[in-house]
Amino acid sequence: MGIRTGAQYIEGVKSRQPEVWLGGRKVTDVYNEDVFRQPIHEIANLYDIQNDPTYKDEITYLCEESGERYSHAFKVPKTYEDLKARSKLFEIWARATFGLMGRTPDFLNVTVTSMASNTWFLDQYNPEWSKNMINYYEYIRDHDLFLTHAIINPQNDRSKASHEQEEDFTHLGVVEERPDGIIVRGAKMLATLAPITDEVIIYSFPGFQPGDEKHAIAFALPIDTPGLRIICREPMQDGKRSVFDHPLASRYEEMDALLVFNDVFVPSDRIFINQNIEAANLLYPKTGIGQQPAHQSGVRGLIKLQFAAEVAARVADSIGVDGYLNVQTQLGELMQSVEAIRALLRVAEYEYETTSQGEVRPAGLPLETIRGMLPKLYPRAIEIIQTIGAGGLLMSPTGADFEHPELRADVEKYYVGREGISSQDRVQLFKLAWDLCGEAFGQRLLQYERYYSGDPLRRLGRFYAGFKRQNSFPLVDEALKGSRDLEGQPTI
Ligand SMILES: Cc1cc2nc3c(=O)[nH]c(=O)nc-3n(C[C@H](O)[C@H](O)[C@H](O)COP(=O)(O)OP(=O)(O)OC[C@H]3O[C@@H](n4cnc5c(N)ncnc54)[C@H](O)[C@@H]3O)c2cc1C
Ligand SMILES: O=C(O)Cc1ccc(O)c(O)c1
């Protein structure tokens, strides 16, 4: 079939009946649920963009073998140009949501592409698993599917392994093996956008310990598989808030959910890892499934940071405070943050690595540096918007106030900005800024940037340890040589 349109994606959503729970209620019609309506349309827009002649040739490719057109997310990058083509896809899609939606279809599509182009890894354990992975990749590519994923065990007792949790099968695991598949029970988190996706893929960040065998699994299923329950967090919007009052929150909320598997059957051909701790723990570090989606996160994160920086600058300009040195230094800091991430991204792409399988990946060091820096730079950007907007962020009247004949004159007078900025312009800008830096919606966006790639603290610690393994800090040896005499003795 090849690339889908927005309408085809929506048809898919309407055709399914996943078991979705929202605020103590079972959702019977996902498409017509207020909270999901706008996000569904934002995702549909992305599918439409790939059919738009302005972008089509840039972000999709014609496969010679099948004669079909697929998204660049499904092309295994073999050259720098392939990597750049992917980067363009990430950028065009991220711009469409200002980088505020992180788990758009490209994220997991590149992950699965990466799994399928590294089946040497699964082959070591079971050739059936790698065959299943290749078939699954072709299936989602041919149908252009949208996946959610849950790779973290629920946050119960982090000081204990999965098999040591108070109750058995709190963490997802295999309860029964059958000739034609496995039955799984337990929970996994944190499946962003789950209710409006086509499929779910389960794998794990490393961390399984001896005794966790039954939990060490990877598989994929249709999102409406019987027994799979999607428990949504409390929505931050009701789906009815006005675009004037909440220009971002009313459009880009990504729902997050806990997935509960109530004895769900996984057919053999959808199993990628079955009860193998080593395979489950090494899948992430040994294949490209860290680096390739991190490329998407880097490009998207850059757009989001740039957006936040622009909002800060426009807020400052609109109230005439960007001539003050303290405000200028904060804005300058933000512009430099954006430049730093942009430069790292370019280095990651330009200094790409080629694996022994011929797959091209963005360079690890600059990519990991982005992962380390964004969880600090984005919260700082939000803090700067809060600092510059100050009390004004809390003062905005509503769209309804503008429309009320008794109030109109007041709101048009008392909310004006510097010369040339009308009351409505300023209020709209401040509402947008508040969605980003004050609303629960904005706090989630911040939490996303901190945690989407795992715990940033442990990541940074691992980064240093890995850096040390590969670097002997030779400059210090060079410098120390200078303080020794010709016989190598210290000069005092
Ligand atoms: C908005 C949002 C969307 C997300 N979307 C997805 C998604 O779509 N799919 C998905 O699979 N995941 C998703 N994630 C989950 C994300 O992968 C996890 O939040 C992340 O891996 C961190 O795990 P945790 O939240 O369980 O934190 P924990 O691991 O429980 O950490 C909690 C705290 O304890 C500390 N801590 C815990 N264990 C240790 C340890 N061993 N040593 C030292 N300190 C420790 C941490 O530093 C942290 O401060 C999302 C997260 C967020 C916030
Ligand atoms: O390591 C990375 O940054 C890539 C990544 C992040 C979060 C995920 O959930 C995931 O599957 C992959």
Q: For the chain, what is the domain count?
A: 2
ipTM: 0.97
Query: Nearest ligand, CA of residue 192?
Result: 1
Strand partners, 217: 274
| 477 lies in some domain | no
- Nearest ligand 1 atom to the CA of 158 is 38
CA angle 144, 149, 153 (to 5 degrees): 170
Strand partners, 189: 152
* CA 336 centroid distance within chain: 23
Residues 139 and 118 in one domain: yes
Residues 218 and 180 in one domain: yes
Chain centroid, CA 384 distance in Å: 23
Same domain, 270 and 318: no
CATH number at residue 363: 1.20.140.10
Q: CATH number of the domain that 128 lies in?
A: 2.40.110.10
**Rounded (to 5) percent helix, strand, coil in the chain:** 50, 15, 35
Q: Cα 403 to the chain's mean position, in Å?
A: 38
If one residue of 148, 453, 462, 463 were mutated to test the ligand 2 pocket, choosing by the most ligand atoms within 8 A of its CB, it would be 453
| Cβ atoms of 217 and 271 closer than 8 Å | yes
Is residue 193 within 6 Å of ligand 1 at its C-beta?
no
First to last CA, the chain: 76
Choosing from 258, 286, 314, the residue where a domain stops is 286
Ligand nearest to the CA of 449: 1
152 lines ligand 1 (CB under 6 A): yes
The amino acid that residue 97 corresponds to is: T
Per-residue pLDDT of the chain (492 residues; tens, 9 = 90+): 899 999 999 999 999 999 999 999 999 999 999 999 999 999 999 999 999 999 999 999 999 999 999 999 999 999 999 999 999 999 999 999 999 999 999 999 999 999 999 999 999 999 999 999 999 999 999 999 999 999 999 999 999 999 999 999 999 999 999 999 999 999 999 999 999 999 999 999 999 999 999 999 999 999 999 999 999 999 998 899 999 999 999 999 999 999 999 999 999 999 999 999 999 999 999 988 999 999 999 999 999 999 999 999 999 999 999 999 999 999 999 999 999 999 999 999 999 999 999 999 999 999 999 999 999 999 999 999 999 999 999 999 999 999 999 999 999 999 999 999 999 999 999 999 999 999 999 999 999 999 999 999 999 999 999 999 988 889 998 888 877 777 777 776
Question: Strand order in 173-178's β-sheet?
Answer: 25-27, 19-22, 228-232, 257-267, 181-188, 173-178
CB of 216 within 8 A of CB of 277?
yes
Q: Are residues 117 and 232 in the same domain?
A: yes
Q: pLDDT digits over 54-86, tens only? A: 999 999 999 999 999 999 999 999 999 999 999
Q: Which ligand sits closest to the CA of 154?
A: 1
Alpha helix (H) residue ranges in 50-195: 56-59, 80-96, 105-116, 119-123, 127-143
Of 296, 348, 357, which is closest to residue 115 (Cα–Cα)? 357
Dihedral sign of CA atoms 263, 264, 267, 271 in order: negative
Instruction: Return all residues near 68 (Cβ < 8 A) that are at least 6 apart.
Output: 1, 2, 62, 142
Segments in 184-255 forming alpha helices (H): none
* Cα 58 to Cα 2: distance, rounded to the nearest angstrom: 16
Whether residues 330 and 402 share a domain: the answer is: yes
- Name 258's Cβ contacts closer than 8 Å, sequence gap at least 6: 154, 187, 188, 189, 190, 191, 230, 231
User: Checking DSSP bridges between strand 271-274 and strand 353-354, what pairing results, if any?
Assistant: unpaired
How far is Cα 454 from Cα 457, in angstroms, rounded to an integer?
A: 9
The residues near 44 (Cβ < 8 Å, ≥ 6 apart) are 6, 7, 9, 10
Nearest-angstrom CA–CA distance, 352 and 416: 50
Residue nearest to atom 13 of ligand 1 (CA): 190
20 C-beta neighbours (distance < 10 Å), count: 24
CB of 150 shorter than 6 A to ligand 1 = yes
Residue 17 domain-assigned (yes or no) = yes
Supply the pTM of this predicted model: 0.96
Asked whether residue 486 is domain-assigned, the answer is no
Q: Whose CA is nearest to atom 25 of ligand 1?
A: 451
Last residue within a domain, chosen from 223, 256, 286: 286
Return the C-alpha torsion angle 321, 326, 331, 336, nearest 10: 160
State whether the beta carbon of 103 lies less than 6 angstroms from ligand 1: yes
Residue 257, ligand 1, Cβ within 6 A:
no
Distance between Cα 375 and ligand 1 center (Å): 13
- 469 to 34, 348, 462, 465, 473: CA distances (angstroms): 52, 20, 11, 6, 10
Domain boundary (286, 314, 339) is at 286
Residue 205's SS3 state is: coil
| 275, 376: one domain | no
Residues 98 and 173 in one domain: yes
Q: Which two tokens stand for residue 340?
A: 């730093």
**Edge-to-edge strands, sheet with 271-274:** 147-150, 199-202, 217-222, 271-274
Q: Is the CB of 101 under 6 A from ligand 1?
A: no
Is residue 71 within 8 A of residue 47, CB to CB? The reply is: no
Q: Which listed ligand is nearest to 102 at the C-alpha?
A: 1
- Does any domain span residue 157? yes
317 assigned to some structural domain: yes
- Whether 482 maps to a domain, the answer reads no
CA of 290 to the centre of ligand 2 (A): 5
Q: Residue 402 falls within a domain, yes or no?
A: yes
Residue 379, ligand 1, Cβ within 6 A = no
Residue whose Cα lies nearest atom 15 of ligand 1: it is: 190
CA of residue 481 to ligand 2 center, whole Å: 43
Whether residue 315 is found in the same domain as residue 186: no
Strand duo 173-178 + 181-188: pairing? antiparallel
Planar angle of CA 396, 398, 399, nearest 5 degrees:
130
CA angle centred on 424, ends 419 and 430, rounded to 5° = 90
Provide the β-strand partners of residue 319.
none
CB-CB contact of 348 with 391 (8 Å): no
The answer for residues whose C-beta is within 8 angstroms of residue 328's C-beta and 6 or more apart is 322
Token pair of 131 as six digits: 């065959």
What domain range includes position 300?
Answer: 291-468
Secondary structure element (H or E) that encloses residue 364, with its range: helix 364-389
Structure tokens at 118: 């590294």
Task: Clarify whether residues 274 and 402 are in a common domain.
Answer: no
Same structural domain, 242 and 352: no
Q: By the 8 A CB rule, do 292 and 114 touch?
A: yes
- Using alpha carbons, select from 338, 339, 341, 343 the residue that is nearest to residue 372: 341
In eight-state DSSP terms, residue 14 is H
Asked if residue 307 and residue 245 are part of one domain, the reply reads no
pLDDT digits 0-9 by tens, 240-290: 999 999 999 999 999 999 999 999 999 999 999 999 999 999 999 998 899
Domain assignment present for residue 478? The answer is no
Ligand 2 neighbours by CB, cut-off 6 Å: 111, 149, 151, 290, 293-294, 297, 371, 452-453
Structure token digits, residue 204: 């794990």
**Residues 258 and 356 occupy one common structural domain:** no
Report the candidate in 315, 369, 309 with the shortest Cα–Cα distance to residue 335: 309
